[in-house]
Amino acid sequence: MSEDSRYLCTSCYGGTVPLERWKLGYSTCLPCGQTKAMQRKFTVAPINKSNYMMFTDVEDLKHLNPKRTT
């Protein structure tokens, strides 16, 4: 296996993944990674005196701040 073929994007097989990104565990090129990130339908937020929770609705996130004015 050649050095260049080891770091090919596993999504489009046309782009190359930078070595530093590959070492972090990412196997997609930056444009494919951005596309994949934009498809995400949830976010993770820390809860006060608790653990992290996954939210799929933005309105739920807005209700987490007890000191909000509106």
Q: Indicate the domain borders of the chain.
A: 5-38
Question: Which residues lie below 8 Å from residue 47, measured CB to CB, with a gap of 6+?
Answer: 53, 64
Which helix (H) or strand (E) element contains residue 37? helix 30-38
Closest CA to 27 of 39, 4, 11: 11
pTM of the model: 0.52
pLDDT tens for residues 17-59?
Answer: 988 999 999 999 999 988 988 887 888 888 878 888 888 887 8
CA–CA distance, 70 with 41 (Å, rounded to integer) = 25
